[in-house]
Structure 1
Amino acid sequence: MDKAAASALGLDFGTTNSVVALADGQGGTRLVTFGDAGDAVFRSALCFWEEERGWNGIAHEAGPWAIDEYLQSPLDSRFIQSFKSVAASPLFERAMIFNKPFRFEDMGRLFLQRLVAHAGGALDERPRRIIVGRPVEYAGARPDPELARQRYDAMLAAFGTEIYYVHETLGAAHSYASRLTEPTTILVADFGGGTTDFSIVRVAEPGAPRRCVPLASSGIGIAGDRFDYRIVDRLVLPLLGKGSRYRSFDKLLEIPGGYFADFGDWSRLAMMRNRRTLDEIRRLKRDAERPDLIGRMIALIEHEQGFPLYDAVGKLKRALSSSKHAPFHFTGGGIEIGAEVRRADFEQWIADDLRRIEAAMDQALARASVTPAKIDRVFLTGGSSLIPAIRALFDRRFGEERIATGGELTSIAHGLALIGEESDPAEWAT
């Protein structure tokens, strides 16, 4: 498909990965690929370093190139990932990077600039219609959807002129509907990095004036990033001093949990490498019962090991999707952590999260006035849908024969581009 022939663009701006699809005006789409490797999945990450020619004296990269830049010089750069998770947070105003303030929309604009630059010209002339995926429920404490909309508008101001925001699950529904040949009621479950969302959609026969009719949606701010943090919390943080004690005068007190909570939030973890915070932790180390454990925490912060740590956690999580036990191994900043982890342990760590996810699914069914027996097909998408405990939840509720998968990382962008071809995409917008 010639880039000039694209009639609409679907942008799945994800917490972990981003994907772009272009519609051809004939019911077909193609994924935009990035770099010489031709990968359609672009990591939602940024790396910053000081450089006079950069914006405000700071240069940046995005996607896998951000990872490469960080790994080349971790102590002289700042690596940011999962920044979509703060889009709706009124508690997040800006991240201070090399003493310069960066708002969410600033990071978003810089991210999109590099995404376009690495697309090999495929996005230099974008179609008029841009369909952007958004979660049903945003991540974070007390999320503010209107604030997220304002930030998204500012982020995308230079990206397109006719922009529609559509629930990501409805994009996935359109993608899956293209496989169907008869009327079907489907439940779409999208397991992203920051949120898990559900939509119930009635799909008409091919050729119907309106192929998909949404019945109800629901969502919850629990997904892949939360599962990663459960591993960090149960496996890693005890090895950094969580649960241990320090002496204050004649009392033994537990080390404050706030330091360990920062390891679950990129906007705080990335900022812990400052003199005040490190001086506080060094004082804790001096009075700690286990100073060696606090020393590990200091080493991780001083040597900017947040990304390698979470990369090791992600590898473990993926390994446990295909094996009943797997090794966890992390080396960096002069420390080494290793353990053998059973899938059963991981499933226990995320059990409460899965119960809350199932309750959100039940909410969608109740809103649509549809029982599980009336769902003809369940379409699972998103990287965390590959976790066996999640698949087992749906097998138990709906039966294995009704479950469909495929295109876990690309189906949403594909469907969003298809929505852009409809006569009035505003009917789908939220």
Structure 2
Amino acid sequence: MGAIFGIDFGTSNSALSVNIDGQTEAIELDEHNTNTKLLPSIIFYDYFEKEFLFGQQAIERYIETDAEGRYIQSVKTYLPDLNFKSTDIAGTTHSLEQLVSLVLKHIKSKGENYLKSEITDAVIGRPVVFSEDKEKEELAEKRLLDAARLAGFKNIYLEYEPVAAASFYEQTLDAHQEQLVLICDFGGGTSDFSVLKACGRNEKSYLERRKDILSLGGCTVGGNTLDSSLMWSEVAKTFGKNVKLSYPMTRNVVSMPGSIMNRLRKWHLIPQLNTPKTMRYLHEIERFADEPQCIRNLISLIEHNHGYSLFKAIEKAKIELSGREQTVIEYKDYNISVHQPVTITQFNKTIANDIERIIHSIKTTVSSAGLGNNQIDKVMLTGGTSNVPLINSYLTATFGREKIINTDAFTSVGQGLGFCGNQYM
């Protein structure tokens, strides 16, 4: 059996495919996740059980233990970071390469268990540019290769993520049919764009394919950004965002401290508030608040570590607004009750600035390729945020509905990396 893995090691999520004798198949990675072919790129070390967990199981254990462990996410973003050399976990020093290798090794074992065979060859996705700084770029690539070796891979090939996405799409083209394709990859933390020359049955080498990349662009806006904006706009008020504090013996009326409120923007930052000093402060100010129930809500949210489940309710509403005119952010637990109706108009207004940054990046990417919008043959969408109506309406109005291609939102890059394995088998 000639087999090679295709690994999409993402900032937010990872996916795996296997190429066996030229045929590619996506492999399930996380039986605990709603989408079993998607592994959240998250590591959690449980201090009590003294074990590492990954993906959705890591998230669940993190919640169950009230954050009594080491939670690590978005480790990919540190690959070009010269300052991040190592971190201590339960008294043991782990280099960045070792942290990345933990995720890659977990992915490798999942694939091998499925195939009942050891696989030591892999095509691993990488962004075209880790960093514009040459030293950081070289460091990031070396770290990723070293991490793959630590995970047990012997023959490792790095492939550009947009090229992998193009390879996925090229399987639908006739032999030698060429198109100019705008690839929009909407991730959890970033949105990346590229214009490439796609060709059916493309047999070009890795180096030759670099010439097919006409332009690149991107911004640090992703699905998580939209969740954060929705939380701040519609839900944070339930937890004290607009509370005013009136202290006795003074006429001053003050707002809630930003150092507390701003942590509500991301669910994994909420447990950082669970310190004796912060909790003592919240209990003290409850009697001075014009909306004391909001302070009690915040205390309960922190004490019971329910930030993750609250954000899942927010994400659910966001997804529902891709196909509805209105929905409700609904959450009830530990005396907290959130029932916040949201219309598509409100949602669009809330994320307007985020979407404007995405649109600006798309415009810049197309113009950098030296092309007009009418010269783009197809627009390939991948990633869950591609379903957001504001994004879809812009792309449809700009390029035409007939040019839009909706792929498997989460695993197309992973499968494309599997297709790229044909070059190396």
What TM-score, normalized to structure 1?
A: 0.83
Whether 1:33 aligns to 2:28 is yes
Structure 1 unpaired stretches of 5+: 139-143, 425-430
> Does the Cα contact within 8 Å between 1:85 and 1:194 map onto a contact in 2?
no
The Cα shift of 1:420 comes to 3.5
> Does the Cα contact within 8 Å between 1:74 and 1:303 map onto a contact in 2?
no
The Cα shift of 1:172 comes to 0.9
In terms of mean alpha carbon deviation, does 38-47 or 144-153 score higher?
144-153
In terms of mean alpha carbon deviation, does 377-386 or 273-282 score higher?
273-282
1:368-411 superposed Cα distances (whole Å, 9 cap, x missing partner): 10111100011011111111221111001100011111211111
> Does the Cα contact within 8 Å between 2:10 and 2:41 map onto a contact in 1?
yes
1:340 corresponds in structure 2 to: 341
Letter in 2 for 1:328: I
CA RMSD of aligned residues (A): 3.3
1:408 partner SS: coil
1:322 partner SS: coil
Q: How many residues align?
A: 408
> Does the Cα contact within 8 Å between 1:79 and 1:270 map onto a contact in 2?
no
1:202 corresponds in structure 2 to: 197
**Change in CA separation of 1:375 and 1:328 when aligned onto 2, cut-off 3 Å:** same
2:150 corresponds in structure 1 to: 158
The Cα shift of 1:313 comes to 1.1
2:221 partner SS: coil
> Does the Cα contact within 8 Å between 1:63 and 1:115 map onto a contact in 2?
no
1:83-116 superposed Cα distances (whole Å, 9 cap, x missing partner): 3475367898888877988776555344344444
Whether 1:134 aligns to 2:127 is yes
1:403-424 superposed Cα distances (whole Å, 9 cap, x missing partner): 1112111110111222333269
Q: 1:66 aligns with which of 54, 58, 65?
A: 58
Letter in 2 for 1:13: F
> 1 CA distance for matches of 2:89 and 2:261?
21
> 2 CA distance for matches of 1:369 and 1:394?
18
> Does the Cα contact within 8 Å between 2:67 and 2:271 map onto a contact in 1?
no
> Does the Cα contact within 8 Å between 1:175 and 1:411 map onto a contact in 2?
yes
> Does the Cα contact within 8 Å between 2:44 and 2:71 map onto a contact in 1?
yes
> Does the Cα contact within 8 Å between 2:191 and 2:221 map onto a contact in 1?
yes
1:428 corresponds in structure 2 to: none
Letter in 2 for 1:62: F
> Does the Cα contact within 8 Å between 1:218 and 1:364 map onto a contact in 2?
yes
Letter in 1 for 2:227: D
In terms of mean alpha carbon deviation, does 246-255 or 224-233 score higher?
246-255
The Cα shift of 1:361 comes to 0.9
> Does the Cα contact within 8 Å between 2:244 and 2:254 map onto a contact in 1?
yes
> 2 CA distance for matches of 1:145 and 1:386?
32
**Change in CA separation of 1:94 and 1:83 when aligned onto 2, cut-off 3 Å:** farther
Letter in 2 for 1:236: V
Letter in 2 for 1:224: G
1:11 corresponds in structure 2 to: 7
> Does the Cα contact within 8 Å between 2:5 and 2:16 map onto a contact in 1?
yes
> Does the Cα contact within 8 Å between 1:83 and 1:266 map onto a contact in 2?
no
In terms of mean alpha carbon deviation, does 255-264 or 397-406 score higher?
255-264
Query: Map of 1:268-347 to 2, 5 A cutoff?
Result: 268-347=269-348
> Does the Cα contact within 8 Å between 1:79 and 1:307 map onto a contact in 2?
no
Letter in 1 for 2:213: P
Structure 2 unpaired stretches of 5+: none
Letter in 1 for 2:13: N
Query: Map of 1:143-222 to 2, 5 A cutoff?
Result: 149=141, 152=144, 155-159=147-151, 160-181=153-174, 182-206=177-201, 209=204, 213-222=212-221
> 1 CA distance for matches of 2:320 and 2:91?
39
1:125 corresponds in structure 2 to: 118
Identical pairs, percent? 24
What TM-score, normalized to structure 2?
A: 0.84
In terms of mean alpha carbon deviation, does 196-205 or 93-102 score higher?
93-102
The Cα shift of 1:168 comes to 2.3
The Cα shift of 1:336 comes to 1.5
2:321 partner SS: helix
1:289 partner SS: coil
